[in-house]
Amino acid sequence: MLSAKYLDLLGQKYDSEEKVATEIINLEAILELPKGTEHFVSDLHGEFQAFQHVLRNGSGNVKVKIRDLFKDEMQEEELNEFATLVYYPEEKLPLIKSNFNNTVELHECYIDILERMMKLVSYASSKYTRSKLRKALPKQFVYIIEELLYKSDEYKNKKDYYTKIVQQLISLGQADKLIIGLAYTIQRLVVDHLHVVGDIYDRGPHPHKIVDTLIDYHSVDIQWGNHDVLWIGAFAGSKVCLANILRISARYNNLDIIEDVYGINLRPLLNLAEKYYEDNPAFRPKRNSEITLTEQEQLQITKIHQAISIIQFKLESPIIKRRPCFDMEDRLLLEKVDYDKNEVTLHGKTYSLENTCFATINPEQPDELLEEEKQVMDKLLLSVQHSEKLARHMKFLMKKGSLYLKYNGNLLIHGCIPLDEEGNMEQMEIEGKSYAGRDLLDVFEQYLRYAFAHPEETDDMATDMAWYLWTGEYSSLFGKREMTTFERYFIKEKETHKERKNPYYHLREDEEMCRKILAEFELDPDNGRIINGHTPVKEREGENPIKANGKMIVIDGGFSKAYQPTTGIAGYTLLYNSYGMQIVAHQHFNSKEEVLINGTDVLSVKRLVDEELERKLVRETNIGEVLQQEITILNSLREYRYMK
Ligand SMILES: O=P(O)(O)OC[C@H]1O[C@](O)(COP(=O)(O)O)[C@@H](O)[C@@H]1O
Ligand SMILES: [Mn+2]
């Protein structure tokens, strides 16, 4: 029962019976609309250009709508050209205009474009309420667009009507702005809600631009990836997470993100690196087609890369020692090295080390940081925690993100649910209590939120847990026995590089297993699915992203350029509209410029995951549930106020 106080308060907003009734009618009507389109992406890894392309074309959805409407009146080339205009209006419009050298033809062209844009807006918004459409319209043109949208049919001579308006718009210098605004409205209408299933950061050059785009996006949630948590952990005060993000940034030649984008001063680290390190082939930055480095620059990065890697290895050790529950003693590698012989013994086998850079290591106490190293890390952490831009981005990740999400009956999670070989949820004991399955994930998330809320605490369990989430065996984001970073740098034998995956990654092929996991999260195993990112699907080797009879969908197809040779494609995305689910395999995306000039879109291959027997309505969604609760409350208000 709702309290009288609550209803009185609500009564202030709905202060007449008609207002209550109107709202109930409105909500009931919305429940009968088809469900909005959900768009899933994952493992973006800083590839902003490819990401924004997929976002702008709604994984091919914009093109589908254009084709539906105009296939009879436009040739393929023209369809492509129009689609490109919708994706990149600011850049495409001048290109189109440059084809005309007299104003009469140009005006004709404007009229055609506007007419088509209006048709497309109307079509793409057909499953929304007018109020929702209004919110998606460019503010300054709402009035004029609504005029055109809702009145156009009444005019017999539509052409004249458009001509008049367009002439006015052109002479007042507003036509371009209107077209650009409409293009963004269309982009927004084709996707109702976006899910980012983890790993926005690392490897690629522009994760910050992805986050900026997401901040402005109309409706989005994030399931953190291990790389995102690494950044969150660094901001929350974990020096080992910080060392990792710097190491990866050096490795992928992305230190600009740290310095120029987030304004973190790397000078102290560079000074240290210059003092102790030389060139070293194992630490040269990966080639990046966008930036060419001078020899001098490459050498500097190589030195920084070594300095920060050694700091990272040293920082891992005290955490492993103070957290027996992490069960990571195997990873105390600096202690296993024979510094005279330059060898290491792992699982009983001795390997010689190459490309070593142990100048700052004291063999008696290998994990001890030099005073200089300590100071460098203190300064870096201070700088990180004072970066306003980073703070804004990390707060956004915390606000919109979670470790997993239950949404419209599906379970969204970046990595895995840690399992044993028999398919039981793995137990992990933390501070004297045992957790497994959903409870384990919930407790991980609580720790991460605590660490984020207490950035001044740097060595507590919560902050250490952020690092565990990056690299721990039972981390739902990592899900491998160990991360063999040390071995990859220093040992030739490939057998030591292997990272053994949690049994989850093969057991998830089994439908029964997926059903069990869905049930663990109180989702309906008959209708729900698990949606994963994290492990690149090797399409090239015939791996199928749709597993376990459709109960499991893995959408990491490798936006990351560095991983495309492995996957053979340029990323998967998933669309879930009222008719069902479709997975989209994207072919290589070269550049926006190429799309603009050639009008060719990245070819996307769609595969049906499932077709709904009946069109799914808003009523059956999470939002529908909320609306139904609101209706119940409004009905209570109605009875309380107006039916006595
Ligand atoms: O190829 P890189 O950049 O050296 O990274 C390798 C590391 O990345 C990881 O795959 C984690 O990153 P992902 O989440 O993208 O898989 C580790 O398991 C592995 O040690
Ligand atoms: Mn990942």
Distance 485 CA to ligand 1 centre (A): 9
Ligand nearest to the CA of 534: 2
Distance 505 CA to ligand 1 centre (A): 16
**Candidates 480, 483, 490, 491: which one to mutate for ligand 1, based on the most atoms within 8 Å of Cβ?**
483
Residue 79 above 70 pLDDT? Answer: yes
Ligand nearest to the CA of 536: 1
Ligand nearest to the CA of 45: 1
Residue 418 above 70 pLDDT? Answer: yes
User: What is the residue with the minimal CA distance to atom 6 of ligand 1?
Assistant: 485
Instruction: Give the chain's largest Cα–Cα span.
Output: 92
Atom of ligand 1 nearest to the CA of 534: 14
Residue 38 above 70 pLDDT? Answer: yes
Q: Which residue has the tokens 């009523």?
A: 619
What six digits make up the tokens of 289? 């087609």
Average the pLDDT over 116-144 and give the result: 91
Atom of ligand 1 nearest to the CA of 536: 16
Which residues does a 6 A CB cutoff place in the pocket of ligand 1? 199, 203, 226-227, 480, 483, 485, 499, 534
Atom of ligand 1 nearest to the CA of 483: 20
User: What is the residue with the minimal CA distance to atom 18 of ligand 1?
Assistant: 483
Buried b or exposed e, range 95-126, using 16+ CB within 10 angstroms: ebeeeeeeeeebbeebbebbbbbbbbbbbbbe
Closest of 473, 480, 466 to residue 429, by C-alpha: 473
pLDDT, position 433: 97
What six digits make up the tokens of 125? 């918004």
User: What is the residue with the minimal CA distance to atom 14 of ligand 1?
Assistant: 534
Buried b or exposed e, range 169-186, using 16+ CB within 10 angstroms: bbeeebbbebbbbbbbbb
Distance 200 CA to ligand 2 centre (A): 9
Distance 115 CA to ligand 1 centre (A): 49
What six digits make up the tokens of 567? 């996957």
Ligand nearest to the CA of 199: 2
Q: How do residues 158-171 score in pLDDT, each as one tens digit?
A: 667 767 877 888 88
User: What is the residue with the minimal CA distance to atom 16 of ligand 1?
Assistant: 534
Q: How do residues 428-484 score in pLDDT, each as one tens digit?
A: 999 999 999 999 999 999 999 999 999 999 999 999 999 999 999 999 999 999 999
pLDDT, position 480: 96
Please give the residue that has the higher pLDDT: either 609 or 82: 82
CA 335 vs CA 93, 149, 282, 327, 493: distances in Å: 62, 72, 21, 16, 20
Backbone angles phi, psi at 584, to 5 degrees: -120, 125
Distance 564 CA to ligand 1 centre (A): 14
Atom of ligand 1 nearest to the CA of 226: 14
Lowest-pLDDT range of 71-85, 102-116, 555-569: 555-569
Contacts of 497 (CB under 8 A, 6+ apart): 484, 487, 488, 491
Q: How do residues 290-349 score in pLDDT, each as one tens digit?
A: 678 899 999 999 999 999 999 999 999 999 999 999 999 999 999 999 999 999 999 999
Please give the residue that has the higher pLDDT: either 289 or 428: 428
What six digits make up the tokens of 480? 């491998």
pLDDT bucket at 104, cuts 50 / 70 / 90: confident
- Name the region of 337 (left: φ>0; alpha: ψ -120 to 50; beta: rest): beta
**Candidates 224, 283, 480: which one to mutate for ligand 1, based on the most atoms within 8 Å of Cβ?**
480
Distance 203 CA to ligand 1 centre (A): 9
Name the average pLDDT for the chain.
92
Atom of ligand 1 nearest to the CA of 560: 15
User: What is the residue with the minimal CA distance to atom 15 of ligand 1?
Assistant: 534
Please give the residue that has the higher pLDDT: either 612 or 526: 526
CA 129 vs CA 18, 32, 125, 459, 543: distances in Å: 20, 11, 8, 51, 41
Measured from the Cβ of residue 340, the count of other Cβ atoms closer than 10 Å reads 7
Atom of ligand 1 nearest to the CA of 227: 14
Here the ipTM equals 0.95
Distance 453 CA to ligand 2 centre (A): 24
Contacts of 489 (CB under 8 A, 6+ apart): 282, 283, 309, 355
Distance 465 CA to ligand 1 centre (A): 19
Contacts of 341 (CB under 8 A, 6+ apart): 352
Q: What percent of the chain has pLDDT over 90?
A: 77
Distance 346 CA to ligand 2 centre (A): 26
CA 570-493-488 angle, to 5 degrees, is 50
Question: Model pTM?
Answer: 0.94
Buried b or exposed e, range 464-489, using 16+ CB within 10 angstroms: bbbbbbbbbbbbbbbbbebbbbbbeb
pLDDT bucket at 519, cuts 50 / 70 / 90: very high
Closest of 93, 135, 94 to residue 114, by C-alpha: 93
Residue 515 above 80 pLDDT? Answer: yes
pLDDT, position 572: 86
